[in-house]
A = this chain, B = another copy of it.
């Protein structure tokens, strides 16, 4: 009787699991229980269907101006859902921890103003009511992926859940965390790969894109990717966002801030609105190339826009404008 599910011999398991994963009991979230893809309805936006859905917004809700400016900017560029943290889990007790209730109200205000559904994190069972009152989707953060009491409570709700992979969770533990929620009766779950902790220190985390096709095979739930936490460096975000789409992700979760240098958290990994817009335009042909739909922004980007990913040429200089710091 062991706490941490077995690691069956990898090779054998691989051959065996070509069709159905041999993973521990995932009777509800596994493909063996339901073959068709689940499509989650987040305030009218469908995640897991033909369209790749981009969720964007600031790491933390800091003020009305910051949130609204960012919300309108990301909507204009094609984001379909607004993200923003009201309760922020921070490693130090002395860091900024979010605006709490005030932040939730600002999110609701931004939703009314832009029409975008809203997702925000709930860090504890006691905050669930408040979060549900203002948000269209509840985020369970990476540090809480194995907060089983929280998972159980969220399982009793009938609100979509964005479940982020624990930064040191195996794919199997990730699926079992989703199974906790599903076993409570709530099957509206979106899985989010957001980078895992490894020995590498050049990036904040190591974005595990293999998890995308692997999860898509083993579960019917939608799978999205957070390249902001996954890399920790804003200039890597567009590259990895594009790779995530090519790997088969059903959506992206991207941090955008009107002024990253002034951000109260995670400024280093946040895109400025103009970079975000360019990224959105840049990914479109890739999405189309693999037969997925990609949102049109409300403002048509100029044809003169520099492409975000310049093609390498023998004479190509390594320092196009795009690679300068956000300044």
**B170 touching A18, Cβ below 8 Å:** no
With A31-B318, A171-B200, A286-B286 already in contact, the answer to whether A19 and B240 are too (CB < 8 A) is no
Interface residues of A in 110-136 (CB under 8 A from B): 123-127
CB distance from A299 to the nearest CB of B (A): 22
What is the CA–CA distance of A6 and B23 in the complex, to the nearest angstrom? 8
Interface residue from B4, B245, B286 paired with A91 (Cβ < 8 Å): B4
Interface of A is mostly: loop
Interface residue from B149, B309, B313 paired with A124 (Cβ < 8 Å): B149
With A1-B267, A285-B289, A312-B37 already in contact, the answer to whether A236 and B210 are too (CB < 8 A) is yes
Interface residue from B93, B152, B217, B236 paired with A176 (Cβ < 8 Å): B93
With A9-B6, A213-B240 already in contact, the answer to whether A196 and B201 are too (CB < 8 A) is no
Q: Does A230 make an interface contact (CB < 8 A)? A: yes
Interface residue from B92, B149, B214, B311 paired with A290 (Cβ < 8 Å): B311
**A91 touching B3, Cβ below 8 Å:** yes
**A323 touching B15, Cβ below 8 Å:** no
Complex interface bits, A156-199 against B, C-beta within 8 A gives 1, otherwise 0: 00000000000110111100100110010000000000001111
**A173 touching B6, Cβ below 8 Å:** yes
- Interface size band for A: 35 or more
Give the interface segment out of A66-74, A75-83, A140-148, A272-280.
Answer: A140-148
| A binding-site residues for B, Cβ under 8 Å | 1-15, 18-19, 24-25, 31, 35-37, 39, 48-50, 59, 88-97, 123-127, 143-144, 146-150, 152, 167-168, 170-173, 176, 179-180, 183, 196-204, 206-210, 212-214, 216-217, 220, 230-233, 235-236, 239-240, 242-248, 250, 263-268, 285-286, 288-292, 307, 309, 311-319, 323-325
